[in-house]
Structure 1
Amino acid sequence: MSNDAPSNNHDAVNAAIGLLQLLQGVDEFSHKVFPESAALFKGLAQSQSPHTLFIACADSRVVPEMITQTQPGELFVCRNIGNIVPAYGEMLGGVSAVIEYAVMVLGVRQIVICGHSDCGAMKGLLNPLSTSGMPTVEAWLRNAEAARSTVFARKLEGPQALQALIEENVRLQLMHLRTHPAVAAGIAEGRVALQGWIYDIEHGQVSVFDEGSGSLQSLPEAIARLQGEAVP
């Protein structure tokens, strides 16, 4: 028991330091950041009207508001391991409820599914042994199994396989998204648009899926395409 005590004490100290840092961050927000945007938060205090549902990985390196340079109240964010959207009826739960609420109650106009480089969930999908002993994770990742099968069929390996899986997973989750009744109705009525992104953490760049060609476009290409579509 005495041998464990130093380790336990060290862990407790680290936990206290981590919590203290969080609280100090809140204190800085309350006294420095919040006053500069007090009018914004006053308007948001009673209601919200986000324009976009942003479905991203729970990875700590992915920060939707920073990537998109949006303000509080603009994004309705759903985060989970692997930016996964179970097909409707397959695994009804938090993600399905978020989608339904965002479309039917909040009236979001866009839904973005954002994958990212070096995704741990996709690494786990490529190497099943790495998720051994985590049955919940394994069950969740089965929602991306079709993407893995596509990559395996292409006989890719190493970094190429990982990048291909990250991309295929976003494509697959967009397909799953369309099975949700609220989304299907929104698309049919022209109220909701979908888009898939791949965020490159190292270079701070986003690539966008062009569903017409089925390929990834650079950000300038995607912006130019949408600007053309926005002209009456």
Structure 2
Amino acid sequence: MEEILKGVKKFQQEVVPGRKEEFAKLAYGQEPEVLFITCSDSRIDPCLLTQTVPGKLFICRNAGNVVPPHSNQTGGMTASIEYAVEVLKIRDIIICGHTHCGAMQGAIQPQALDGIPHVKEWLGHCRAASAVVKERHGDLNADYLDEITKENIKLQLQHIRTHPSVAAKVATGQVHLHGWMYEIETGQVQALDQDSGAFNPL
């Protein structure tokens, strides 16, 4: 915690004075162009990855970069997506998974999550991704972690299309969807080709 507090002090003393105009403008509103949905994993920093400044990304994070399918039950992800699309008028949505994802490891071995039932239930939204990989190979194990992670990105893109606000804007070309796979150890990003289903270097 001491390191965090030192960081705040450094930000206030060294960063803010040189960017007063920028922060003053941000105080009166935001106009992000991209909704960036990614994992809560501490090893991922969307702004560092995209080299963007405050105000450019509207960021939603949770374990496994999950987008629950739309329902009549209000949740934080549903509300945030609706706000981003209808109020902020974002033009692109990126769902970004990553290598070495603990949530996807949990999807491989859901029985290991019995002691954390809310996490287990949440990762039920990834079940179809695990099912695809299991059908393809006959079993599930850690060797297929990256493959499950990529299938999960595809699955969450399917889920977000069930949200009425997103479906309407995608159908009229006002919003575009993107799937990314971030490799922690190299910084490389692969982007989903939604026609072929393949991930290619960005």
* Range class of TM-score, shorter chain: over 0.9
Matches for 1:53-202 after TM superposition, within 5 Å: 53-89=35-71, 92-155=74-137, 157-202=140-185
Contact 2:108/2:140 (8 A) holds in 1: no
Partner of 2:9: 27
Moved beyond 6 Å, runs of 4+: none
1:157 & 1:126 partners in 2: Cα distance? Answer: 6
Return the offset for 1:189.
1.6
TM-score by length of 2: 0.96
Taking a change above 3 Å as real, the CA distance of residues 151 and 129 of structure 1, as seen in their structure-2 partners, is same
The equivalent of 1:227 in structure 2 is none
Partner of 2:192 in structure 1? Answer: 209
Matched residues in 2 for 1:111 and 1:31: separation? 34
The one-letter amino acid of 1:89's match is S
Change (3 A) 1:199 1:121: same
Structure 1: how far apart are the matches of 2:108 and 2:102?
10
Amino acid at match of 1:185: A
Q: Aligned to 2:133, what secondary structure does the other structure show?
A: helix
Measured against aligned partners, the alpha-carbon deviations of 1:29-64 in whole angstroms (never above 9, x if no partner) come to 000011222111111001000000000000000100
Q: For the residues of structure 2 that align with 1:102 and 1:22, how far apart are their CA atoms?
A: 29
RMSD over equivalenced CA pairs, Å: 1.2
The one-letter code of the counterpart of 2:58 is F
C-alpha deviation, 1:92, in angstroms:
3.3
Q: How far does the alpha carbon of each residue in 1:125-146 deviate from its partner, in whole angstroms, 9 at most, with x for none?
A: 1012321211110110000110
Shift of 1:158: 4.0
User: Shift of residue 90 of structure 1?
Assistant: 7.3
Larger radius of gyration: 1
Partner amino acid for 2:18?
E
Paired-residue identity, %: 47
**Contact persistence 2:133–2:140 (CA under 8 A):** no
Q: Could you tell which deviates more after superposition, 48-57 or 21-30? A: 21-30
Aligned-residue offset at 1:21 = 2.0
Moved more, 145-154 or 85-94: 85-94
Unpaired stretches in structure 1, ≥5 consecutive residues: 1-17, 220-232
Which deviates more from structure 2 when the two are superposed, residues 41-50 or residues 159-168? 159-168
Greater relative CO, 1 or 2 (CA 8 Å, sep 6+): 2
* Greater percentage in helix: 1
Counterpart of 1:11 in structure 2 is none
| CA deviation after TM superposition for structure 1 residue 212, in Å | 1.5
* Matching residue's letter, 1:52: V
Q: For residues 69-93 of structure 1, give each alpha carbon's deviation from its aligned partner in whole angstroms, at most 9, with x where no partner exists.
A: 0110000000000000000017630
